[in-house]
Amino acid sequence: MNRTSESDIGKLILRLTVAIMMLFHGYAKIIHGVGFVENMLIKNDLPAILAFGVYIGEILAPIFLIFGYKTRFSAFIIMCTMLMAVYLVHPHDIFEISKHGSPLLETIYFYIFSCIAIMFLGAGKIAVDSK
C-alpha cells in the first residue's frame, strides 16, 4: 500500500467516524422531534423555523460525508451545527472542566475540530467527489 492509499483510508475513517456518530444525533431528532431546539431558538430571540435546519446538519450533511459528496461543505455545515449548539445550549460551558478533568464540551470540540480537519483534507480518493 502506498502513502496515497493510506492517506485516503485515513480520510475515509475520519469522514465515517464523524458522520456515523453525528447520525445518532439526527436519529434522535427524527424520533423525538426538534422541540428542544425550537425552544432554545425562541429563548435566544431567533426564529423557531431554524430548528428544522438541524436535520440538514445532523442527517443530510453526515450522509453526504459518508459518500464523500460535497465533503468540505458538508463538514462546514456540521461544524456550524455544533457551533450553534454551543451558542444556544452551552454558552457558559466553553471553558468549563468536568469533574473528571476533561473539557465539558469535549464531544462538541471533537466534532468541530474533526470537521475543520475534513475541510482541510478533503474527501480523498475513496469518495464520490474523487477526481
Q: What is the pLDDT of residues 83-117, one digit of tens each?
A: 999 999 999 999 999 999 999 999 999 999 999 99
- Rounded to two decimals, the pTM is 0.92
**Which domain range does residue 31 map to?**
3-121
Encode pLDDT of 10-68 as tens digits: 999 999 999 999 999 999 999 999 999 999 999 999 999 999 999 999 999 999 999 99
Task: Give the CA distances from residue 64 to residues 22, 57, 79, in Å, rounded to whole numbers and listed in that order.
Answer: 12, 10, 14
Contacting residues for 7 by C-beta, under 8 A, at least 6 apart: 124
Q: Is 64 part of any domain?
A: yes
Q: Is 51 part of any domain?
A: yes
Q: Is 126 part of any domain?
A: no
The number of domains in the chain is 1
Q: Is 127 part of any domain?
A: no
Q: Is 91 part of any domain?
A: yes
Q: Is 98 part of any domain?
A: yes
